[in-house]
Amino acid sequence: MITKQLYQLTNMTDHKSLIKGALDIDPWLEPYSSGLIDRQIKFRDWLKRINEGEGSLSKFASSYETYGLVADPATKRITVTQYIPDVQLVSLVGDFNNWNAESHQLKKVNDYGLWSLTLEPTDEGNYAIEHNSKYKISMLLPSGERIYRLDPWCHRTIPEPKAHVYDGRFWNPEQSYQFKYKRPKMHEEGIKIYEAHVGISTPEPKIGTYKNFTENILPVIHKLGYNTIQLMAVMEHAYYASFGYQVTNFFACSSRYGTPEELKELIDTAHKYGIRVLLDVVHSHSSKNVDDGLNMFNGTDHYLFHGGGKGNHDLWDSRLFNYLNYETLRFLLSNLKYYVDVFKFDGFRFDGVTSMLYKHHGLSFGFSGDYNEYFNPEWVDDEAITYMMLAHELLDEIAKREDAQFTSIAEDVSGMPTLCLPIAKGGIGFDYRLSMAIPDMWIKILKHLQDEAWDLGNIVFTLTNRRHGEKCISYVESHDQALVGDKTVAFWLMDKEMYTNMSILSENTPIIDRGIQLHKLIRLLTFSLGGEGYLNFEGNEFGHPEWLDFPREGNGESYHYARRQFNLIEDDLLRYKFLFAFDSAMQHLDSKYNVLDTPQAYISLKHEIDKVVVFERNGLLFIFNLHPNDSFPDYKVGVETPGCYQIVLNSDREEFGGHNRIQEADSNGKPIEYFTNDDPWNNRANSLFVYIPSRCALVLQLKDKIKN
């Protein structure tokens, strides 16, 4: 008779192939094989269950085509399908029937909470419900109480001015937007993300629109050279100041910026520019709103959520999804496919992934990197991991069917192993994780250290400390660092002088000069060393002079700080244009020479006294002099590949607010050339000499590989 232990060992050995890719990349995961295998088995069990019950995962996630209110243009019928357990009666009410809860009752389809209704066309052959008219779901509870809620699948919600709550609208325009352009593909470029918020994308103190973003902001992003936009706060959120992270209506794009058709036009126009668009998706939690959210939808605390304390996120004051619930998976997976199919988004940045990964949600938990923290069954939420794996399996299915590329990014601070490995290799499926330690490092340095005390070893370690084989998005600052209560890098560097000395007609003070030079160097160092992708929050590329603060009671409901002053880069007398130009040059450096999506750099020098860092990445030679005062003529640096080099990026150029201390061409306009010699230096086979002024960065490339 086979023993239980031997059976488990045999079973684990049989399933080892499921995680072979992960173990090949990181052999230290071997002791945790059973945990990794268990995740794969749970995922496959759920996938099998869905495939058998629904036909395929894609069909399951296409439930947005049948759930909610669905109009059939051929027959003019409207079908209503709702999952509502634990109620006695369900009715559809609205302007179309004078809010009569008796006239349009749904029929119970099964004992699992499914209800349906078909509305035939009017005698004139029109839809029974007019486009953009108000409606709600009415339910009679077992207690006899009647409640009214917004349709969880509603595609349009608009605030009712007097009541300050949102009304559901039947969105069914005669002419929907027709897409003209195909989804762009990444090709060999690294991902360069422009994190943006439609509402703040205007210099005026008001809410910006999808139209404004399409006409005025997309050309700026294209000029800069970013190939991806990450759109924040798209899913409807009743409280504007939540920055979109307290979602009330998951299938409704925010009406405060315009219509769904205008959002489609925005994405289509981005595709015209060759720019891909990611949606900042919040599936980690949901708003506690009852009148215009999911909370207590059917009168219980466990509709799509965990009941009791398990269903509450105490810090965020929000509700937590029950990822083990079949209908919760239908809702969330359909939500992803809805935005991919209907709006043509090119992927997602998943917010709050750390909260999803762990039952403790990362609260008051300091991750040390000990692998036991990632595989302790008392801490890790395998149900949420299964959902994330199903989400990536869904994206893979759609990508294969459409010959498309989708991107997923995890906001995770914990460093969960295999998070950014494909499922086929034993991973969870994300393409990238955000390198959240990098912005924290820069803020601590700028807050506490003088330039002379910067620890180059620590800086380089933080920039390069990432899991082998799992891609990262590096960034100096995102929206988190721009919010009121914190300071942007530009503010840490230049603070109040930004209001008085950013004109080229005023003195270039030591504070302003230091700020402009370090703003560039910090970004280029992060860009070139920190990951396989790069992110910037809108406005920070040109050193936006103010923080971000949404209208709220504490600021008198003011929109003064809920905007981005793009007009500053259009003023030729202001120094913001220098930072904007450098950021653009940095993005185009990757477009030409593929800096980002390549193996990590080889760092040949970290000189703490000279404050010089030298490294090579994908054939480019990067030289940084971070010293505040000392310039070095004929500085010897190592380089592996011999030949004739020329400068392709120089932060000291006048067009970047530099001092033009480096001669890049002779009197005839011929580029200055730097020849290597076969004298090994700093563990490199060759070396060359170069002049590097203080607070300056140079990027060199072999002459025969330079691109115009």
Give the contacts of 115 (CB within 8 A, at least 6 positions apart).
80, 81, 82, 83, 84, 90, 106, 107, 108, 109
> How many Cα atoms sit within 13 Å of 490 on the Cβ side?
22
Instruction: Give the type of residue at 586.
Output: M
Q: How far apart are CA 589 and CA 593, in angstroms?
A: 6
Q: Which two tokens stand for residue 636?
A: 């010897």
Under a CB-based contact definition with an 8 Å cutoff, are residues 372 and 303 in contact? Answer: no
Taking CA 20 as the corner, what is the angle to CA 19 and CA 22, rounded to the nearest 5 degrees? 70
Give the contacts of 475 (CB within 8 A, at least 6 positions apart).
434, 435, 438, 439, 526, 530, 534, 535, 536, 537
Q: How far apart are CA 656 and CA 639, in angstroms?
A: 27
Under a CB-based contact definition with an 8 Å cutoff, are residues 111 and 118 in contact? Answer: no
CB atoms within 10 A of CB 589: 21
Q: How far apart are CA 242 and CA 288, in angstroms?
A: 12
Q: Which residue(s) pair with 318 in the sheet? A: 313
Using left for φ > 0, alpha for ψ between -120 and 50, and beta otherwise, residue 565 falls in beta
Instruction: Give the type of residue at 359.
Output: K
Is there a catalytic annotation at residue 86?
no
Q: How far apart are CA 430 and CA 414, in angstroms?
A: 14
Q: What are phi and psi of 319, to 5 degrees?
A: -100, 150
Is there a catalytic annotation at residue 292?
no
Catalytic residue, chosen from 351, 383, 532, 616, is: 351
- Calculate the dihedral angle through the C-alpha atoms of 420, 421, 427, 430, rounding to the nearest 10 degrees: 40
Using left for φ > 0, alpha for ψ between -120 and 50, and beta otherwise, residue 564 falls in beta
C-alpha closest to that of 152 among 166, 133, 132, 131: 166
> How many Cα atoms sit within 13 Å of 353 on the Cβ side?
28
Catalytic residue, chosen from 195, 262, 393, 411, is: 411
Longest dimension (CA), the chain: 91
Please tell me whether residue 39 adopts helix, strand or coil conformation. helix
Q: What's the DSSP call for residue 179? A: P
Q: What is the DSSP string of 645-697?
A: EEEEEETTSGGGT----S--B-TTSPBP-EE-BS--BTTBSEEEEEEE-SSEE
Using left for φ > 0, alpha for ψ between -120 and 50, and beta otherwise, residue 200 falls in alpha
Q: Which residues are catalytic?
A: 351, 411
